């Protein structure tokens, strides 16, 4: 496995692979890898001849009061995990390599980013779209793999790829959970013992929402209210949002019909965690998010 830090090195290697007619898969990450990332890389390993992973904590997608400086980093452990899965190349650039002096071009999106995380993190998706489109231009993958835990991000990336005619297949992969239900996240590492226990309220509330929907609740407001009420039982939980939105447009829905994404962001202490589930449609042609 190669670890490279310059755009030229990635381009040279990928060009060679493409000359040989090989299919290149790409998993963009911010590092501090866990089994969620591993599942994306394993899927890429299965689907593609060569697998590239990027490890880059992208400053542009963090707001002023967010956790950019404290975001966990461990390149050595990340490299070991990638190697064990059979990743062929890690791209680990410095900030200056990605954002050269005078950088002033951005990729922004008008739809899909107003609700959910876009509401509480107003500049987040501009940062994500900009860095992901840069990475796509650098790596030029045939397929790119994203987790459903960041369901809004997955929908946004699909829309960007479609709108900007990028010749890349975006593959959505299911949420990976700890045995007790907590969705895997690099940010789980911020939780102390007490907070880790309290964080279970997220997955418990997801299960409650799934059950209510399965039992026939179709009023989105009622579903969201029941989920909020459940979250409020945990004194350490502070709700950022719980919303039911259309999977295609990420706009609020009144009624649970078609493909609906029910998503939440909740602070446990200072740590903001997200989780979600999808109602309807095993696989939506537009968003491709698998249940
Ligand atoms: O999901 C993430 O880790 C990041 O948002 C991504 C896609 C790597 C872009 O920085």
Ligand 1 atom closest to Cα of residue 128: 9
Q: Is the CB of 28 under 6 A from ligand 1?
A: yes
Q: What is the pLDDT along the chain (291 residues), one digit of tens a residue?
A: 999 999 999 999 999 999 999 999 999 999 999 999 999 999 999 999 999 999 999 999 999 999 999 999 999 999 999 999 999 999 999 999 999 999 999 999 999 999 999 999 999 999 999 999 999 999 999 999 999 999 999 999 999 999 999 999 999 999 999 999 999 999 999 999 999 999 999 999 999 999 999 999 999 999 999 999 999 999 999 999 999 999 989 999 999 999 999 999 999 999 999 999 999 865 443 444 443
Model pLDDT, residue 203: 98
Q: Is the CB of 157 under 6 A from ligand 1?
A: no
Q: Is the CB of 173 under 6 A from ligand 1?
A: no
Q: Whose CA is nearest to atom 9 of ligand 1?
A: 128
Model pLDDT, residue 281: 63
User: What is the radius of gyration, based on Cα positions, of the chain?
Assistant: 19
288: left (phi over 0), alpha (psi -120 to 50) or beta: left
Residue from 25, 21, 19, 20 nearest 46 by CA: 25
216: left (phi over 0), alpha (psi -120 to 50) or beta: left
Would you mind telling me the total number of residues written for the chain in this entry? 291
Residues 185, 269: contact at Cβ < 8 Å?
Answer: no
Q: Whose CA is nearest to atom 8 of ligand 1?
A: 29
Quote the tokens at residue 113. Answer: 């980013």
Q: Which of 26, 33, 61 to mutate to test the pocket of ligand 1 (most atoms within 8 A of CB)?
A: 61
Ligand 1 atom closest to Cα of residue 150: 1
Residues 139, 54: contact at Cβ < 8 Å?
Answer: yes
Q: How far is the CA of 234 from the centre of ligand 1 (A)?
A: 29
Residue from 2, 1, 86, 3 nearest 40 by CA: 86
Q: Whose CA is nearest to atom 1 of ligand 1?
A: 29
Residues forming the active site:
37
Quote the tokens at residue 232. Answer: 């409020």
Q: Is 194 helix (H, G, I), strand (E, B) or coil?
A: helix
Residue 285 exposed, middle or buried by CB count within 10 Å (0-12, 13-18, 19+)? exposed
Model pLDDT, residue 286: 40
Q: Is the CB of 284 under 6 A from ligand 1?
A: no
Our separate counts of H helices and E strands in the chain read 10, 9
Ligand 1 atom closest to Cα of residue 57: 10
Model pLDDT, residue 211: 98
Residue from 205, 287, 210 nearest 256 by CA: 210
Q: In what order do the strands lie in the sheet with 260-268?
A: 237-246, 260-268, 271-279
Quote the tokens at residue 33. Answer: 């890898």
């Amino acid at each position: 496995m190669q670890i490279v830090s310059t755009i030229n090195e990635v381009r040279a290697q990928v060009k060679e692979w493409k000359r040989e007619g090989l299919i290149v898969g790409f998993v963009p990450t911010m590092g501090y890898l866990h089994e969620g990332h591993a599942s994306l890389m394993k899927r890429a390993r299965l689907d593609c001849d060569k697998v590239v992973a990027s490890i880059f904590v992208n400053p542009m997608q963090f707001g002023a009061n967010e956790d950019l400086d404290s975001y966990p980093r461990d390149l050595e452990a990340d490299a070991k995990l990638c190697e064990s899965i059979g990743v062929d190349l890690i791209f680990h650039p410095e900030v200056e390599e990605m954002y050269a002096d005078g950088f002033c071009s951005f990729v922004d999106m008008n739809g899909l980013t107003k609700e959910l995380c876009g509401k509480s993190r107003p500049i987040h998706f501009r940062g994500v779209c900009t860095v992901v489109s840069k990475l796509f231009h650098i790596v030029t993958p045939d397929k790119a793999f994203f987790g459903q835990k960041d369901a809004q991000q997955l929908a946004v990336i699909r829309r960007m790829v479609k709108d900007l005619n990028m010749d890349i297949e975006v593959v959505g992969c299911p949420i990976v959970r700890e045995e007790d239900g907590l969705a895997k996240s690099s940010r789980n590492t911020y939780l102390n013992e007490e907070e880790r226990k309290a964080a279970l309220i997220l997955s418990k509330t997801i299960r409650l929402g799934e059950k209510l929907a399965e039992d026939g609740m179709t009023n989105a407001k009622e579903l969201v209210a029941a989920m909020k009420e459940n979250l409020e039982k945990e004194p350490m939980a502070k709700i950022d949002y719980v919303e039911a939105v259309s999977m295609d447009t990420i706009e609020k829905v009144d009624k649970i019909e078609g493909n609906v994404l029910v998503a939440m962001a909740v602070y446990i202490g200072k740590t903001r965690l997200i989780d979600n589930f999808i109602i309807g449609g095993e696989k939506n042609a537009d968003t491709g998010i698998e249940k």
